[in-house]
Amino acid sequence: MPLDKENNMLETTEIEKKSLEAHVELCAERYNALEDKMSVLGDHITDLCTMVKEVKDTVARMADKRNDQIMAWGVGIIGFLIATCGWLIMHYVLLK
């Protein structure tokens, strides 16, 4: 059976042109081959969807972790500023 080089599909053979039974049988084989390829493609798409979901979950976890880090730094800086203000008030206002 000759192959069409452009899109890799089977061409019509001479026996198909003359015999309906041969044509039906070859079409059934082609259909089964396409069905197998579609099944494999579906499996690959399912795997890709799973990987994309994992990446999305990882990015979300990283963003949450980063937000927690920013909050911790903010609380630390505000605490430091409050302590510094308290020390300045104590030394320059109350002890003068």
Give the tens place of pLDDT for each residue, 2-35: 444 444 446 777 887 788 888 888 899 999 999 9
Q: What are the DSSP calls for 42-67, one per residue?
A: HHHHHHHHHHHHHHHHHHHHHHHHHH
Q: Provide the CA 31 distance to its chain's centre, in angstroms.
A: 31
- Residue 26 in contact with residue 34, Cβ under 8 Å? no
23 vs 46: which has the higher pLDDT: 46
Residues 10-47, buried b or exposed e (16+ Cβ, 10 A)?
eeeeeebeeeeeeeeebeeeeeeeeeeeeeeeeeeeee
Average pLDDT rounded to a whole number, residues 44-71: 96
Write down the pLDDT at residue 10.
60
